[in-house]
Amino acid sequence: MIDVREATKLISSEIINWRRELHQFPEIGLELPQTAKYVSDQLTKMQVKHETGIAKSGIVGLIEGAMPGKKRTIGIRADMDGLPIQEKTGLPYQSKNKNMHACGHDGHTAMLLGAAKILNANKDLFSGNVKLIFQPAEEGPGGAKPMIEEGVLDNPKVDCMMGLHLNAVIPELKSGGIAICEGPVMPSADIFTIKIKGRAGHGGAPHLTVDPIVISAQVITALQTIISRELKPMNAAVISIGKISGGTVFNAIPDEVIMKGTVRAIEKEDQKRIQQRIKEIVEGVTRTMQGDYELQYDFGYPALINEKKITDHVTRSAAKIIGDEMIHVIKKPVTMGGEDMSFFLQAVPGTYFFLGAKDEKLPVQYPHHNARYEFDEDVLWKGSAILAQSALDYLTQTSTDL
């Protein structure tokens, strides 16, 4: 059996180079023509069979093991999209357009290319298949669901999935280590828009108006009581208003105010309750204050939940690469950020983990989605190696536990 750790270390510089090249032309949403072409070109050089144009820019590669035996299929997913953020790192390979890879997806793509190179070079050592899923639009509007709808989990049918995310902000997570857990990892992520309707008039004569700004203030305060007074205190959930707009001048009360926000919840029952209570509270407050409203609530990414057996399997495989001491077991979710890997893990059992990438050389470690975000590139080979080792172990596994 190949020494995956040593084999992947040998291509570390290549993985870093892939990442740096991808970093220079970040694209957003479902339209990633330059990124998709780059990934396709690399897979072609490796002689990995693949399909392009899935959910517009998605790519699915297939590595078929040459050994006889049980023909199981493991899927490995990496997101490829960037964010509409103007980069301010000053790096020599800084983005050349108005977007930025401010969440490490360039690293995710490079790590999957690294795992692909190792697995494809050693396909005579395993039976079954590895599906390489390069996904667009994780940052929105979501690429996992349309890729599933277009059949990426079929022909051959995927039996389990795994994926990872670079992380530089979990305090307990060492650079080059992983954080992993069974069960809930990240919450559902919903979006809502509230339009508060009032009656415009002069700011000096509020008695002749219905003030939607005052109504909005009451609504915002009341919505927070859903979390603080209606959910179990140990259940993680968030309601945040991220945008509010209304009015044009200082001395006039406007006709309407529009608010946009997000709901995050780990428990599905809480997600449903919050949605219902937002409607009831908005209606109650606005009608009591003589206004009216419109509410649009969109269910977004579901909660991301890891399956125990696959999580345990990846933990064991990761230990072969980084050692037990570099594995941090998460007892509860560490972030309320959403992740559409959740759609894959709803469809098939799997796991999603974090790879520590804090760059100790930086005076300040800026968080994800920041214009100055950077990470430690030296950990990328470890991510590739963990993915490759986990796939090899799964496809050579004779135990009925998996």
pLDDT (mean) for 180-193: 96
User: What own/partner pairs with CB < 8 Å and gap ≥ 24 does 270-274 have?
Assistant: 270/231, 270/235, 270/237, 271/188, 271/190, 271/237, 271/299, 271/303, 273/226, 273/230, 273/231, 274/226, 274/231, 274/237, 274/239
Note the pLDDT tens digit of each residue in 277-289: 999 999 999 999 9
Whether 377 is catalytic: yes
Mean of pLDDT over the chain: 96
What is the pLDDT at residue 169? 83
> CA-CA distance, 361 to 7, in Å (whole number)?
26
What is the pLDDT at residue 70? 83
What is the pLDDT at residue 346? 97
**Full set of structural domains in the chain with CATH:** 4-183+305-395 (3.40.630.10), 188-301 (3.30.70.360)
Statement: residue 291 has pLDDT above 80? yes
- Cβ distance 130 to 62 under 8 Å? yes
What is the pLDDT at residue 287? 97
* Among candidate residues 109, 173, 155, 156, the one with its CA nearest the CA of residue 136: 109
Q: How far is CA 367 from CA 29, 51, 57, 261, in A?
A: 21, 34, 27, 21
What is the pLDDT at residue 170? 87
Note the pLDDT tens digit of each residue in 74-90: 999 999 999 999 999 99
Statement: residue 113 has pLDDT above 60? yes
**% of the chain at pLDDT higher than 90:** 94
Note the pLDDT tens digit of each residue in 116-160: 999 999 999 999 999 999 999 999 999 999 999 999 999 999 999
Statement: residue 167 has pLDDT above 70? yes
* Among candidate residues 386, 395, 379, the one with its CA nearest the CA of residue 168: 379
Kindly give, in sequence order, each residue whose CB lies less than 8 Å from that of residue 62, ignoring residues fewer than 6 positions away: 48, 49, 50, 129, 130, 131, 132, 156
Catalytic residue selected from 87, 339, 377, 394: 377
What is the pLDDT at residue 366? 94
* Among candidate residues 59, 231, 230, the one with its CA nearest the CA of residue 143: 59
What is the pLDDT at residue 184? 94
CB 290: neighbour CB atoms within 10 A?
12
- The beta strand positions in 249-381, using DSSP E, are 252-253, 256-265, 292-301, 304-306, 327-329, 350-356
Lowest-confidence range among 14-23, 65-74, 377-386? 65-74
Note the pLDDT tens digit of each residue in 323-353: 999 999 998 888 899 999 999 999 999 999 9
Token pair, residue 322, equals 């980084």
Statement: residue 68 has pLDDT above 90? no
**% of the chain at pLDDT higher than 70:** 99
What is the pLDDT at residue 398? 53
> CA-CA distance, 13 to 9, in Å (whole number)?
8
What is the pLDDT at residue 267? 95
Catalytic residue selected from 301, 352, 366, 373: 301
- Cβ distance 50 to 334 under 8 Å? no
Half-sphere exposure for 351 (CA within 13 Å, toward CB):
25
Question: pTM for this one?
Answer: 0.94
